[in-house]
């Protein structure tokens, strides 16, 4: 299988005066052509640093990165043509409207008359009615979707997204997922960073976890999540004081956290069983939480 992104022994040290941060430590990773790959990691893990090195704004200290076989150091422009990058920081060009920005973007990649494709992307990203709006006048989530559009206008072979769904509401997030899947099916290689396990789980076959600048885990997403013990927590709130914990809830490790609140822990596939068990309990409020990424990292650190 061909390799879309090959990263070998990359080091990045930020230094400002006395302050030095070793953001990437001997980082290596290979992503195959056509893959939908997730890079997961806590704040400060080094995800954006890696992406900015691939994109251009950040310089690495050492190591090699190849895009579809071409070294970014010796083939900087060619490799820029092959990738589309959605940066983490939302930005906007206040002088121009959405359509102008996307037309300029196409031009930078040597494309003339790209209007049809621009319209198609705007529709897929639910931005068509903002086509002539000034970019400053977009909401945060719209600005982020514009970033995605900018990364796509030149039909890259590899799409790299740095937390593309942060600040995008639930419905649009799912639209975005559908669109990214569609692009991936059509042959686009996608590298995605995210804080949401669900996002990685629902989109990406393989996932790497990066912490403190190195890969701490790399596996099939499903296997990875399983090995980490994926579970959900449900908090039940009751109007009346809880007396004894009902026996049939013990299988869900029921725990009283106050006189009125009960916490159940279970695997996602048990959800139906849990709901059935709740039938006669009449809780006044329910809250469902996923195992947080922080829990995952805690486990990983604990293990290693």
Partner 1 sequence: MANPRGTWTLFKRETQRFLKVYMQTILAPVVNNLLYFAVFGFSMHKAIPDIQGITYLQFMVPGLVIMGLVNNAYQNPSSSIILMKYQGIIGDLLSIPLKTYEIFIAFISSALLRSFIVGLVTFITALFFVSFPYTSVPLILISAFLVSLFFSFLGLFVGIWAKEFDNQMFIQTFLIMPLTFLGGVFYPVSSLPGVIGTIAKFDPIVHMINLLRYGFTGIQEISISLSMTVLVTITVAMGIISYFTLRSGWKLKN
Strands of 206-211's sheet in order across: 83-86, 158-162, 189-194, 36-40, 206-211, 214-220
- Minimum distance between the CB of residue 71 and ligand ATP, rounded to whole angstroms? 22
73 binds partner 1 (CB under 8 A): no
Orientation of helix 140-152 relative to helix 170-185, angle to 10°: 10
3 state SS for 138-179: CCHHHHHHHHHHHHHCCCCCEEEEECCCCCCCHHHHHHHHHH
- Choose between 43 and 94: whose C-beta lies nearer to Mg ion: 43
Residues 92-111 contacting partner 1, CB under 8 A:
92-96, 100, 104-105, 107-111
Q: Which residues, 6+ apart, have CB-to-CB distance to 53 below 8 Å?
A: 10, 12, 24, 59, 60, 65
**Could you say which of ligand ATP, partner 1, Mg ion, none residue 92 binds, taking C-beta under 5 to 8 angstroms by partner kind?**
partner 1
**Could you say which of partner 1, Mg ion, ligand ATP, none residue 150 binds, taking C-beta under 5 to 8 angstroms by partner kind?**
partner 1
User: 222, 302, 210, 237: which is closest to 268 by C-alpha?
Assistant: 222
49 binds Mg ion (CB under 5 A): no
47 binds ligand ATP (CB under 6 A): yes
**Could you say which of ligand ATP, partner 1, Mg ion, none residue 44 binds, taking C-beta under 5 to 8 angstroms by partner kind?**
ligand ATP
Count of residues near ligand ATP by CB under 6 A: 12
Residue 129 token pair: 């009615």
**Could you identify the residue written with the tokens 């790959």?**
37
58 binds partner 1 (CB under 8 A): yes
Binding site for partner 1 (CB under 8 A): 14, 52, 55-59, 76-78, 80-81, 85, 87, 89-96, 100, 104-105, 107-112, 150
Give the footprint of ligand ATP on this chain (CB under 6 A).
14, 21, 23, 41, 43-49, 88
């Amino acid at each position: 299988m061909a390799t879309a992104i090959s990263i070998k022994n990359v080091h990045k040290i930020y230094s400002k005066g006395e302050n030095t941060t070793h953001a990437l430590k001997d980082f290596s990773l290979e992503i195959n052509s056509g893959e939908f790959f997730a890079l997961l990691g806590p704040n400060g893990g080094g995800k954006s640093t890696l992406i900015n090195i691939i994109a251009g704004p950040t310089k690495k200290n050492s190591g090699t990165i190849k895009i579809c076989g071409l070294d970014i150091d010796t083939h900087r422009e060619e490799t820029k043509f092959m990738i589309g990058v959605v940066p983490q920081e939302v930005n906007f060009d206040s002088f121009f409207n959405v359509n102008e920005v996307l037309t300029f973007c196409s031009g930078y990649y040597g494309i003339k008359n790209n209007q049809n494709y621009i319209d198609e992307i705007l529709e897929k990203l639910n931005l068509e009615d903002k086509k002539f709006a000034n970019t400053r006048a977009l909401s945060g989530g719209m600005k982020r979707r514009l970033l995605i559009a900018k990364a796509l206008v030149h039909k890259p072979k590899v799409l790299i997204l740095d937390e593309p769904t942060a600040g995008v509401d639930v419905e649009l997030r799912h639209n975005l997922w559908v669109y990214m899947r569609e692009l991936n099916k059509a042959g686009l290689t996608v590298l995605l960073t995210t804080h949401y396990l669900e996002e990685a789980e629902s989109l990406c076959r393989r996932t790497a976890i990066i912490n403190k600048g190195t890969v701490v885990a790399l596996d099939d997403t499903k296997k990875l999540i399983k090995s980490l013990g994926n579970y959900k927590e449900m908090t039940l709130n009751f109007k009346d004081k809880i007396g004894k914990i009902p026996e049939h809830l013990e299988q869900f490790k029921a725990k009283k956290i106050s006189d009125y609140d009960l916490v159940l822990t279970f695997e996602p596939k048990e959800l139906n069983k849990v709901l059935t068990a709740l039938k006669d309990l009449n809780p006044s409020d329910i809250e469902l939480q996923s195992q947080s990424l922080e829990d995952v990292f805690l486990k990983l650190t604990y293990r290693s």
